[in-house]
Amino acid sequence: MTISSSLNAGVAGLNVNASRLATISDNIANSSTFGYKRAVADFHSLVIHQGAGSYSAGGVRVTTHRMIDQRGTLITTDNPTDLAIGGRGMLPVAEATQLTVAGNPPVLLTTTGSFRADSEGVLTTDTGMVLMGWPASADGTVPTYPRDTFDGLRPVRINSNQFAGDPTTRMELSVNLPATYTIAGSDGDPLVTSAEYFDNMGTSQSLEITFSPTVPASGTSNTWTMVVRDSATGATPIGEYTLVFDNSRGNGGNLSSVTTISGPDYDPISGQLPLVVSGGPIEVKIGELNSPSGLTQLSDTFARAPVIKNGSPVGNLNRIEVDTNGFMHAIYDSGFTRTIYQIPVVDVPNPNGLISLNNQSYRISPDSGSFFLWNAGEGPTGQMVGFSREESATDVAGELTQLIQTQRAYSSNAKVIQTVDEMLQETTNIKR
């Protein structure tokens, strides 16, 4: 019984070292595979009940698993949609062959991927893994999606030939009006300026702004009438206001009051006029009361600083980039940038409990625990890194060391079997 248990233990030793050799060969073969996670083989002893004065070898068994929580080094690439996670968390993907399945395709996980648009504009890797994300609304905001389900995720699709315009919704005016125009005896000529904006169709329009000084019979009035017209609607004013400027020491030249004649009321807290042009409202900031910014009345010079505004004319899609928070931005040649998707980062309590699949992808399992979709860089997850890929987690030098150890252990177990065979032959010869 003791000799036969030795034989069983030796055979078990051969089997477990063969399993370890398989993991080592897999790791070395994938030492250049992006996103590859090491496979490891752990040995566990088997103990058979021992009687008094005797011993039976129980042998050894092996368990294999992947160290999915080990991260490889990030390297820089030239593709903006080469994505990796700088820390904990994984990217949601789906198999391209599953996109035609009714309903949402099964979502898998991966730590990195080189995503490029296919013939239909879907961001896909060479192995057929499709990037999944939450689509943004037309205004570039991402709606609130549930974080404990994949139902809101959609394949990320890019139309490389798309055009888009960005309407102007806010504007800041910085204009200095000459104080000498409101002194008795001045000619009272109005001053005119304009500010370009872009309408809902991306067409260039302008606000025509006229400043007419109030000339008193004597002294100084420090008062102007501002009339705003929209080039898209004609000569009818969209706003008329009386502006009064301070002339006290320390605060001279600053706007002291704004009185509405017609149009939307001035907001003294924000310093804005909510003007309504043909395409909708534009918040035009002329400055808070008693503030040196915005509209001022100083000296004898009429001057205007460049208008600060948002919006842009129609542009063609130039490139796609993903920021550290997982927001995917479409950047147009007109300078306009719009958020089109958000790529969440998926995290599970036990990454090593995920089920390993082909192409460095993984599936949720009971051992991994329930998943949660985070914003990249929030909670326990790392930031999303574009222009990057994660290298293999294989340490070739360490694997070669284990290879030598495994070879010696395998040879030693083979020697045990050879010795047991010789001893059994001796036992047989005794009977003869």
Ranges of the chain whose pLDDT falls below 50: none
List, as one string, the DSSP characters of 398-422.
HHHHHHHHHHHHHHHHHHHHHHHHH
Report the C-alpha gap between 141 and 102 in whole angstroms: 28
Contact 337, 127 (CB under 8 A): no
pLDDT at residue 425 in the model:
85
Two tokens, residue 107: 């979502």
Task: Count the neighbouring beta carbons within 10 Å of the beta carbon of residue 322.
Answer: 25
Long-range contacts of 395-404 (CB under 8 A, 24+ apart): 395/38, 396/28, 396/31, 399/24, 399/27, 399/28, 399/31, 400/28, 402/20, 402/24, 403/21, 403/24, 403/28
Residue with tokens 């030939």: 161
pLDDT at residue 102 in the model:
57
pLDDT at residue 203 in the model:
87
What is the maximum alpha-carbon separation in the chain? 143
pLDDT at residue 432 in the model:
63
Task: Count the neighbouring beta carbons within 10 Å of the beta carbon of residue 104.
Answer: 17
Query: Which stretches does DSSP call E strand in 48-183?
Result: 60-66, 74-76, 82-86, 91-95, 108-110, 112-114, 116-117, 123-124, 129-135, 154-155, 163-166, 170-172, 175-177
**Alpha helix segments (H runs only) across 145-280:** none
- What are 361's strand-pairing partners? 357
Q: Where are the domains of the chain?
A: 2-67+393-431, 90-163+327-390, 170-310
pLDDT at residue 420 in the model:
82
Long-range contacts of 268-271 (CB under 8 A, 24+ apart): none
Fold for the domain defined by 170-310 = Tick-borne Encephalitis virus Glycoprotein; domain 1 (2.60.98)
Report the C-alpha gap between 120 and 116 in whole angstroms: 11
CA 349 from chain centre, in angstroms, equals: 22
* Model pLDDT for residues 226-271, shown as the tens digit of each residue: 999 999 988 899 999 999 999 998 889 999 999 999 999 999 999 9
Single-letter amino acid, residue 105: P
Q: What pairing do the DSSP bridges indicate for beta strands 337-342 and 361-363?
A: unpaired
Query: Which 8-state DSSP code applies to residue 185?
Result: T
pLDDT at residue 410 in the model:
92
pLDDT at residue 165 in the model:
77
Report the C-alpha gap between 254 and 252 in whole angstroms: 6
